[in-house]
Amino acid sequence: MLPLVIGHRGVKEFAPENSISAIYMANKLKIRSIEIDVQLSKDNRPIVFHDETLDRCTGFPGYVKDFTYNELLKHNISLSHIFTKEKIPSLKQFVKLCDRFDIYLNIEIKECDNKLTPNIVCNEIKKIGNPKNIVISSFNAQYLETAMYILPEYERMYIVEKIPDNFLNILNKYKCKGLVISLQHNSLHEIIDLSIFPINIYVYTVNDKETYNILIKHGIGVITDYPYSFQKYT
């Protein structure tokens, strides 16, 4: 299972989100787990990128789904405070490098219009992944059902904003090990109450020290932009 502290889209305090350099930074800083986002390019290549559009991370307009992978490689990913000339990575690159450094991956399959997404992503993971250091997660329960059949040996987690009343039924139906829930849409009291259940709980996105300490104290995992700064408190 994933460690309690997961870097949100890599190590955003030191490297562009969802970038190859984030893996090297995680290895250097001894960050054991990161979360990434996966979607498909126009030619159905699984790529590591969060937004539907390119503009925030590359400064170039347009939807990711409208570009082939080779076309996407023409655009650099960056953050305002970090200079980089990195390209958008493929899922294959990410998985192989994380396996090399023994870094746990929480792979979120992004919801999109392309109905082939869960099948293509899961089959790619089946070819190159290691169930010992990869967890599959998604907001879309049907994607988790696909993962359950294609990748039965991989753990799965269901991502939600507001905690649903029937969350245990959903977890049981899709044989999920845990729930990933939004800090913004739930109170700390509601989140901590979940710790009585025999499931793994992770909270996104936790970026203040006080909340971090409270959750970790109750054995609840956090997904944070500051895994390096926070891990010393664990």
Cα(50)–Cα(19) distance, rounded to whole angstroms?
11
Give exposure, 157-184, as e/b (b: 16+ Cβ within 10 Å).
bbbbeebeeebeeebeebebbbbbbebe
CATH 3.20.20.190 for domain 5-231: yes
Question: pLDDT at position 146, please?
Answer: 98
Q: What is the pLDDT of residues 28-80, one digit of tens each?
A: 999 999 999 999 999 999 999 999 999 999 989 999 999 999 999 988 886 55
Among candidates 180, 172, 181, which has minimal Cα distance to 148? 172
pTM over 0.85: yes
Consecutive 10-residue averages of pLDDT for the chain (234 residues): 90 93 96 97 97 92 96 80 76 97 97 94 98 97 98 98 96 97 97 96 97 96 95 69
Among candidates 194, 135, 118, 133, which has minimal Cα distance to 162? 194
